[in-house]
């Protein structure tokens, strides 16, 4: 009987750890979607920087990982357009 109770405790403990891990990974996805794929991209798109090496023109893999295929295409096109504008502004100096 004691072995059965010990086995049940082990199974329940592992199940709880799995649930905690899954909840944590979901929270990370929500954070990436809201921050990296939302607020941060909105902030970077406010204006095109003059410096072509500005971090807002870097490729953001975290943001891309939470986007749909359509959003990914829009993101990449927008990033390329902003990079081109920044390079043109840098050449005018």
Per-residue pLDDT tens digits for 52-74: 888 888 888 888 888 889 989 99
Q: Which structure tokens are listed for 36? A: 């990296």
Which pTM value belongs to this model? 0.62
2-22 pLDDT, tens digit each: 888 888 888 888 888 888 887
CA-closest candidate to residue 89, choices 60, 59, 47, 58 = 47
pLDDT of residue 93: 66
Query: Residue 42: is its pLDDT beyond 80?
Result: yes
């Amino acid at each position: 009987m004691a072995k059965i109770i010990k086995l049940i405790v082990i199974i329940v403990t592992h199940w709880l750890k799995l649930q905690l891990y899954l909840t944590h990974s979901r929270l990370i996805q929500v954070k990436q979607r809201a921050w990296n794929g939302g607020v941060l991209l909105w902030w970077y798109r406010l204006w095109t920087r003059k410096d072509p090496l500005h971090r807002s023109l870097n490729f953001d893999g975290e943001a891309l990982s939470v986007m749909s295929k359509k959003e990914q295409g829009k993101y990449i096109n927008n990033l390329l357009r902003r990079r081109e504008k920044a390079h043109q502004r840098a050449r005018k100096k």
